[in-house]
């Protein structure tokens, strides 16, 4: 059994936040943000909007894009770093609000690699015969965990959600087929990306410093690790599935930094024009970044049915993941 992607839906919050707006309250500038990251704007949720709200909307659109009814889905795999609550998981709520019935629903915590981890799990469940059709969602509302005073993170992250529908397929050459996935981690560097307080290691008490409740990242150290691990993971996957780098039509890397995307293409020896860049308009949307980039590039008419698409991501944990698909005959919504 194989799995194939048959639908794609996305959701961005309505509030557009420009670099100029951020520079009004922080010691930063449009020039610094654009030159160091490639980001020109991002979307943030309004107070009261949660990750599940974005996930439900993206999920609805993915179902519509796939031409499926809610009862056709039998698993929801939701990747997020910003669950609605520390407990319970957000996926069951999303499944319930989508009217999917008593399906299996679970969250995946792999930070910016989360979407590809979830895709790999959905693919594996289908290939193993445990599921027929899986809704894979990456959704994050990072604006809710950013320190208002930390210019190093506040200018980088945006909110959003993207969802794909994977279904069982017995035709290996069908456009949309997931060729394979590669996953990895290195917990020795867990402190490079984290929220210090709020877990069992450092529960929140009345004495918790407010800065410890927010997301922190050692950006420059992460940068080096990101290029190395995404390149190695992608190369391992390509070796497994027998694709040469020259045969890759589109490189869809996690949208963390435009400079990382350029370096990644260079390391993989893929022409930089084949790298999809979406970070300029949405920033780093963590688990939503890959599906948002796929939908954006498809919307621009860059993808043709059957094109070879290599996706690779990197995030806190540290974690990394890659997956390869051929582009399906779908209209992302």
Which lies closer to ligand UT7 via its Cβ, residue 30 or residue 212?
Answer: 30
Q: How far apart are CA 83 and CA 90, in angstroms?
A: 6
Catalytic residue among 2, 250, 284, 296: 284
Q: For 123-205, list the strands marked E by DSSP.
A: 133-141, 159-169, 178-185, 193-194
Q: Between vectors from CA 286 to CA 272 and to CA 163, what angle results, nearest 5°? A: 95
Which lies closer to ligand UT7 via its Cβ, residue 124 or residue 183?
Answer: 183
Is 112 a catalytic site residue? yes
Residues listed for the chain: 333
Which lies closer to ligand UT7 via its Cβ, residue 36 or residue 97?
Answer: 36
In angstroms, what is the minimal distance from the CB of 99 to ligand UT7? 33
Residue number with the smallest Cβ distance to ligand UT7 = 219
Three-class SS of residue 285? coil
In angstroms, what is the minimal distance from the CB of 265 to ligand UT7? 15
Sort strands 75-79 and 133-141 into parallel, antiparallel or unpaired: parallel
Binding residues for ligand UT7 (CB under 6 A) = 28, 32, 36-37, 112, 151-152, 155-156, 219-220, 222-223, 226, 256-257, 260, 284, 314-315
Which lies closer to ligand UT7 via its Cβ, residue 72 or residue 218?
Answer: 218
In angstroms, what is the minimal distance from the CB of 264 to ligand UT7? 10
Q: How far apart are CA 156 and CA 131, in angstroms?
A: 36
The answer to whether 93 and 265 are in contact (CB under 8 A) is no
Q: How far apart are CA 119 and CA 111, in angstroms?
A: 14
**Among 140, 142, 139, residue whose Cα is nearest residue 153:** 142
Catalytic residue among 2, 123, 250, 254: 254
Catalytic residue among 19, 112, 229, 257: 112
Is 257 a catalytic site residue? no
In angstroms, what is the minimal distance from the CB of 44 to ligand UT7? 16
What residues are annotated to the active site?
112, 254, 284
């Amino acid at each position: 059994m194989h799995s194939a992607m048959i639908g794609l839906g996305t959701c961005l919050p309505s509030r557009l936040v420009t670099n100029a707006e951020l520079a009004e309250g922080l010691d930063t500038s449009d020039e610094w943000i654009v030159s160091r990251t490639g980001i020109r704007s991002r979307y943030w949720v309004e107070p009261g909007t949660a990750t599940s709200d974005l996930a439900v909307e993206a999920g609805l659109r993915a179902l519509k894009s796939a031409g499926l009814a809610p009862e056709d889905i039998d698993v929801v795999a939701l990747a997020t770093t910003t669950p609605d609550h520390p407990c319970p998981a957000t996926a069951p709520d999303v499944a319930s609000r989508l009217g999917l019935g008593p399906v299996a629903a679970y969250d995946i915590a792999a930070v910016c690699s989360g979407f590809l981890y979830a895709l790999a799990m959905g693919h594996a469940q289908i290939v193993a015969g445990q599921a027929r059709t899986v809704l894979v969602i990456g959704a994050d509302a990072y604006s809710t965990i950013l320190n208002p005073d930390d210019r190093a993170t506040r200018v980088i992250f945006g909110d959003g959600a993207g969802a794909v529908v994977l279904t069982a397929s017995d035709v290996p050459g069908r456009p949309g087929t997931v060729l394979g996935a590669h996953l990895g981690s290195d917990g020795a560097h867990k402190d490079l990306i984290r929220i210090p307080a709020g877990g069992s290691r450092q529960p929140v008490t009345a004495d918790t410093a407010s800065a410890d409740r927010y997301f922190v990242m050692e950006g420059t150290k992460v940068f080096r690790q990101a290029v190395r691990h995404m390149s190695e993971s992608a190369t391992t996957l390509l070796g497994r599935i027998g694709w040469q780098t020259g045969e890759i039509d589109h490189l869809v890397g996690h949208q963390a930094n435009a400079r990382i995307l350029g370096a990644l293409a260079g390391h993989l020896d893929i022409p930089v024009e084949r790298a999809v860049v979406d970070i300029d308009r949405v920033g780093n949307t963590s688990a939503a970044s890959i599906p948002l980039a796929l939908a954006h590039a498809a919307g621009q008419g860059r993808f043709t049915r059957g094109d070879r698409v290599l996706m690779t991501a990197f995030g806190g944990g540290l974690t990394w993941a890659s997956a390869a698909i051929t582009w399906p005959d779908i209209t992302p919504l």
